[in-house]
Amino acid sequence: MAMAQVEQRVTELRSLLQQASYAYYSLAQSIMEDAVYDRLYRELQELETQHPELITPDSPTQRVGDTPATGFESVTHNIPLYSLENAFDQGELQAWDQRWRRHMEIDLPNLVRYVCELKIDGSALALTYENGVLVRGATRGDGVAGEDITQNVRTIRSIPLRLNLEHPPERLEIRGEAFLPLTVFERINQERAAQGEALFANPRNAAAGTLRQLDSRIVAQRQLDFFAYTVYGATESMQSQWESLEFLQAIGFHVNPNRTRCASLDEITAYFDQWDTARMELPYLTDGMVVKLDDVALQQQLGFTQKFPRWAIALKYPAEEAPTVVEAIRVNVGRTGAVTPLAEFRPVQLAGTTVSRATLHNRDRVAELDIRVGDTVIVRKAGEIIPEVVRVLPELRPEDTIPFAMPTHCPECGEPLVQPADEAVTRCINASCPAIIKGSLVHWASRGAMDINGLGEKWVEQFVDRDLVRTVADLYDLTVDQLRTLDRMGQKSAQNLVEAIAQSKQQPWWRILYGLGIRHVGSVNAQLLTQHFPDKESLMNASFDQIEAIHGIGPEIAQAVHQWMHLEANQHLLAQLQTAGLTLNAPHSSTPPFPHSPIPPFPHQPLTNQTFVLTGTLPTLSRSEAAAKIQAAGGKVTGSVSSKTDYVIVGENAGSKFTKAQFLGVPCLSEAELLDLLMSTNPPA
């Protein structure tokens, strides 16, 4: 075959395959038998193998995935990916409608059209096309900058590599949502279970994790889907959002068919109520409905706030609740001696994750609920993050249930429990309680504290149960011979652990202070304290007033630190640590708990004078990274919640800080909402 004929055949094959893919993935129509598609695909693949100079980025063969990448580059979005303001009820929807009308400062005709689109629960992507060819796919990131994942985006079959446009513009930007269909999600988890791998919690997490895979061949196997919903740089003749969606579908994108135009808020509410029920039958997850003004000219006049488009809002479904049956109520003793009741119940699905237990917080909450083993209860995720028991259904209570009573003695050591007059929490105050010792050792070895590699709960359990260790100072006396007596501990493992413990002697003073587990002293407060009291002697000799005078250290923290430092047993512990070779003083340039971020300060400082507290495990950011972003935007991160705290950023397994924030009425945000807030660092011109 002559070269000209090869080139012509390659062009024909690409055109046929692209037409078939567009019909199948965007129009849900099959215009070609699978066997025919496979034969044509193999023919194209063979021709490109024989003539690699003919391979182009938009060829259908380029979807299968390439060799693993070593990392992702950060890219700045040409147009920021703004987040959406949320409305949780009809009143908030009406308030939004009134706001944008007031902003116009002109009389508008009563008939204003809105477009309602389902809000897909996935990961936002920004796609860039030049002359009709996909040149970049990026994650949302913080809205200003994301990661270049073009290699992975090419594997998503509902994203065209070349647009179906005869005369494409020089540049087009497409925004949309990548997601995993539920059947695909179930298949992936079945495969992971069979291979002994950890299961994905929900399709959203699975989609986000898949997009950040360094090996695009794995991404191709995961079969992500994509719905497009916004286009920038298209023809100016489009006058409405509805036309934009039709344009996106015409040029090759998969656009969600479940959308409508409404002429009133009542119509919007009726459509929303319809999908609040019907969404359960969809093959993908949706977490709300996006309402946009249809008129593009009106959108342009309204523009954006520092965070949101004024012309759109996300109407969120009510918090998902589920009934289940309480199988047990247990109490957990933490490292500070706090005794927390936990309800264990039959597993239920909530907000895309399986939930089987929830904290009952304290004695007062247990009494308020009158919760018993055997009760049917309603559970939900507070803020879609923390599982909680909302209420008991006493009408379904079995006759033989027994009221639950908090124990009077510690279930771990048998000592009497106490409830301080100013606290709702019941505590064990026995410093020799095995649960407190174990919790203290695990905290000491944790990554945020002394970062002792390899020292986890399973070894701590044996250390304490065999009476090898009673305090953190005892760790530094352990020998290889002692460790070899532990179950499943070999010579090499014992040697490595002893070396890791010895290496921790080099950790700075603030990490030691944090690792000691003084109540209310997190890593941020430990850094503040060591900046003002650079060694153990100065902190021991500090008065309550001197400690409280530190900006960011309130009376509760000051009292806890002052009391701890004046206990003879604790002074003896510090002396033991110093004798073991730890450095209980701060060098002139100690490492901060949240290392300075490579993120440069934002030119706008909208978070100035705003105070944040971080608690729990965030989905994609470490707490250090989240703190760095807040600080770069002018905000301040502290370690404790007070009435002066502006926001608490809440992740999975959040603890008492989340509870205290709720009690004080401090706004609690998820990681996504924090990133939305940071969007205000780049307001439109």
> 279-320, pLDDT tens digit by residue?
989 999 898 999 999 999 899 888 887 678 999 999 988 777
Q: Give residue 52's Cα distance to chain centre.
A: 42
Query: Is 119 considered catalytic here?
Result: yes
Q: Is 288 exposed, middle or buried (0-12, 13-18, 19+ CB in 10 A)?
A: buried
Q: Spelled out in words, what is the top-level CATH class assigned to the domain 434-505? A: mainly alpha
What letter represents residue 158's amino acid?
A: S
State the pLDDT at residue 618: 80
pLDDT reading at 130 higher than 50? yes
pLDDT in tens, 353-391: 788 999 898 888 899 999 999 999 999 876 456 788 999
CATH level 3 topology of 323-410 = OB fold (Dihydrolipoamide Acetyltransferase, E2P) (2.40.50)
Choose which CATH entry (2.40.33.10, 3.90.1170.50, 3.30.450.40, 1.10.150.20) describes domain 509-580: 1.10.150.20
Q: Which band of pLDDT confidence, cut at 50, 70 and 90, is reported for residue 234?
A: confident
Cα(570)–Cα(567) distance, integer angstroms:
5
Lowest pLDDT segment from 32-46, 470-484, 507-521: 32-46
Strands (E), 250-299: 259-262, 286-293
Cα(12)–Cα(663) distance, integer angstroms:
67
Cα(427)–Cα(410) distance, integer angstroms:
8
Helix 265-278 to helix 90-104 angle, to the nearest 10 degrees? 140
pLDDT reading at 660 higher than 80? no
pLDDT reading at 552 higher than 90? no
Lowest pLDDT segment from 117-121, 158-162, 308-312, 639-643: 639-643
259's tokens: 């959308």
Backbone angles phi, psi at 496, to 5 degrees: -65, -40
State the pLDDT at residue 89: 86
State the pLDDT at residue 407: 94
State the pLDDT at residue 580: 96
pLDDT in tens, 320-329: 788 999 999 9
Neighbouring C-beta atoms of residue 553, cutoff 10 Å: 21
Cα(205)–Cα(185) distance, integer angstroms:
10
Mean pLDDT in residue range 391-400: 93
357's tokens: 């237990």
CATH number of the domain located at residue range(s) 611-680 in this protein: 3.40.50.10190
State the pLDDT at residue 408: 94
Lowest pLDDT segment from 27-36, 247-256, 548-557, 599-608: 599-608
CATH number of the domain located at residue range(s) 85-316 in this protein: 3.30.470.30
pLDDT reading at 465 higher than 90? yes
Q: Which band of pLDDT confidence, cut at 50, 70 and 90, is reported for residue 602?
A: low
Cα(224)–Cα(178) distance, integer angstroms:
7
pLDDT in tens, 630-639: 887 778 888 7
Backbone angles phi, psi at 314, to 5 degrees: -100, 120
Mean pLDDT in residue range 457-468: 94
Cα(307)–Cα(288) distance, integer angstroms:
19
State the pLDDT at residue 592: 42
Q: Which band of pLDDT confidence, cut at 50, 70 and 90, is reported for residue 145?
A: confident
pLDDT in tens, 187-221: 988 888 777 777 777 788 889 889 988 888 889 98
Task: Give the residue, 181 or 141, on which the prediction is more confident.
Answer: 181
State the pLDDT at residue 598: 41
pLDDT in tens, 235-271: 566 889 999 999 999 999 999 999 999 999 999 999 9
Choose which CATH entry (3.60.10.10, 3.40.50.10470, 3.40.50.2300, 1.10.287.610) describes domain 3-54: 1.10.287.610
Average pLDDT of the chain to the nearest whole number: 85
176's tokens: 């949309």
Confirm if 437 and 447 have CB atoms less than 8 A apart: no
Strands (E), 383-470: 386-392, 417-418, 426-428
What are 627's strand-pairing partners?
none
pLDDT in tens, 466-481: 999 999 999 999 999 9
What are 428's strand-pairing partners?
417
Q: Which of 119, 536, 636, 657 is catalytic?
A: 119
Q: Give residue 338's Cα distance to chain centre.
A: 27
Decide if 434-505 and 509-580 have a common fold: yes
Neighbouring C-beta atoms of residue 413, cutoff 10 Å: 16
pLDDT reading at 54 higher than 50? yes
State the pLDDT at residue 669: 85
Task: Give the residue, 61 or 399, on which the prediction is more confident.
Answer: 399
Q: Give residue 176's Cα distance to chain centre.
A: 19
Cα(111)–Cα(113) distance, integer angstroms:
6
Task: Give the residue, 622 or 166, on which the prediction is more confident.
Answer: 166
State the pLDDT at residue 29: 60
State the pLDDT at residue 20: 79
pLDDT in tens, 402-456: 999 999 999 999 999 998 876 778 899 998 999 999 999 999 998 889 999 999 8
The residue ranges of every structural domain in the chain are 3-54, 85-316, 323-410, 434-505, 509-580, 611-680
pLDDT reading at 681 higher than 50? no
